[in-house]
Amino acid sequence: MKAFRIFIALCGVMTIIWMTVSLFNERINPSPLINALIIGALFILLGVENWIDDQKKYAAFYILLAFIPILSLLI
């Protein structure tokens, strides 16, 4: 379980670095869909972590938050 939390933390740090670099570097310009998928994947990982810890209410909230960025691009 501790390794999974470290994995989520590393993914979060890499995402923050990716978003910051893509914001300030003109050559790296990912599509909004890729950014939404990355953020959604992080929320799904947080939901899985809470589901494993038997915190079902928080898990459902994070999984709902995972689909909001993706659905906002499809509308």
Per-residue pLDDT tens digits for 16-66: 898 888 888 878 777 888 888 888 899 999 999 999 888 888 899 999 989
Q: Mean of the pLDDT values across residues 10-20?
A: 89
- Please report where in the chains the tokens 């501790």 appear, as a residue: 2
Instruction: Tell me how far apart the alpha carbons of residues 61 and 51 are, in angstroms, rounded to a whole number.
Output: 11
Say whether pTM exceeds 0.85.
Answer: no
Fill in the amino acid letter for 35: N
- For 21, the domain range is 2-74
**Cβ contact 11:48 at 8 Å:** no
Q: Mean of the pLDDT values across residues 4-17?
A: 90
Fill in the amino acid letter for 61: F
Residues 6 or more apart whose Cβ sits within 8 Å of residue 49: 4, 5, 8
Number of domains in the chain: 1
pLDDT of residue 74: 81
Residue 18, both tokens: 């990716």
Residues in the chain: 75
